[in-house]
Chains A and B, each alone.
Chain A
Amino acid sequence: MARLPPAHCTKIFVQRDYCDGTAVKFQTKFPQELEDRVERHIFEETVHELNAFYLEAETLSTRICCENCLACLTAYVVFLCMDTHYEKVLKKIGRFIQEQNNSIYIPRGLLLIDPAERGLRVLEICILVDDNSR
């Protein structure tokens, strides 16, 4: 279950990187506000993993083409009964973020918000106030 951040915590926003087009990819530039809170290589690895997941969701493959052709032949009624490949990958990303929060970020007083909660537009990082984090 996604954790809700405290109402008035400081938030850091990692914006999308559009240099390779409109595919979902976040900037790997290390935010200054995280300098003393988390190691640079750990943060960069998290963002790299996230970008790899989104690449998996958005890459055009034979499997995805077949999935969409089949859906087209059923007038897209089949998508009312099953998740698309993209939705399955987003669920994997949700589990990944939860695991990263539990093992790395929450112990350091930070909380990653799943970009899906923000329309895949931004990666939001909350700086939790120590006495409010439980």
Chain B
Amino acid sequence: MSVVEVMSTAKKWEVFPGKNKFCCNGRLIMGNQTAIFYVTLFLIVIVTGLFFGSDCPYLAVRLSPAIPVAGILLFLFVISFLLHTSCTDPGIIPRATKEEAADLEKQTGGPSAVCGRDLPLRTRELTINGVLFKLKYCQTCRIFRPPRASHCSICDNCVERFDHHCPWVGNCIGKRNYRYFYLFLVSVSMHCIFICAFSVTTLVLISIENENGFVAALKTSPGSIVEAVIAFFSLWSVIGLAGFHTYLVSCNLTTNEDIKKNSASKSDRRNPFSRGSLCSNYCEVICGPTPPRSTTFTR
């Protein structure tokens, strides 16, 4: 095949201009740096594995078989939400085609690069629900970024309703995967509390049964203390993050907007995207309609 034929038959994910990684012939899309995602996955699997290996056999008999069943369900939810967060298109805005970029240039006046001089910053002003907004021009994507969108320098894409780039899940958090991220935080907090509580319960019950003290119980079930320590130290950061994002969801704000809000003047602080009540904001962010991915990468 000639070069032209190869390029025309290349799938969209093979010629995608951003820095994302693709799997399963373009069906799954991840961020640029995924090493820490594998660490997250490894920690969750190892801690859960230790729990099922060292505590569940004892607790199922001593207390109730419902404990391992609940543990499995919680683990499956955690993994599902993590994989959905990491492998879902976060709301990548496709870059402008040549013709569209030229049309925008014509409308805003002037060519895009003039003899190496810096471009004047291009913005468009509009009012959304009574609040003045400036749409910024993205030099990389050659579009005026929609409100709430931001350009992720790690993945080199503009993302709709950009929250932040999360290294722990190896992807941007945006419009399409924010709910999975939030539910991942909530479920992993519950999972940490569950493992911590039941591993300590196992050690306490063993020490009472054997009457040899807590230290002897630790020697009988060393896995329990390892998973309890990891779960205990992870717990505080995930609960803190889950709490912070619960606040953001209730106000219909993104992390990006929350940071900018704190540096904005008092007159710009009203959020035009809030629906007015906690419940409505929650419903919109977590249960609202799910837009499909902007590009079908498998074609």
Contacts and interface: CB of A to CB of B under 8 A. Distances in A.
Interface of A: 11-13, 15-16, 18-22, 57-60, 64-65, 68-69, 72, 75-77, 79, 84-87, 90, 116, 118-122, 124
Given A22-B160, A119-B295, A120-B291, A75 B128 contact: no
Contacts of B84: 75-76
Contact of B94 (A12, A13, A22, A119): A119
B154 to A, nearest CB: 20
Given A68-B286, A68-B288, A76-B180, A122 B100 contact: yes
Interface of B is mostly: mixed
Contacts of B144: 15
Contacts of B81: 75-76
Contacts of A19: 126-128
Nearest to A9: B99
Contact of A69 (B133, B147, B160, B287): B287
A85 B289 contact: yes
Interface in B149-185: 160-161, 179-180, 183
**Contact size class for B?**
35 or more
A118 B94 contact: yes
Nearest to A16: B146
A22 B287 contact: no
16 contacts: A12-B103, A13-B99, A13-B103, A18-B135, A18-B146, A64-B288, A68-B288, A72-B287, A76-B81, A84-B290, A86-B291, A119-B294, A119-B295, A121-B94, A121-B146, A124-B100
Contact of A11 (B103, B128, B161, B183): B103
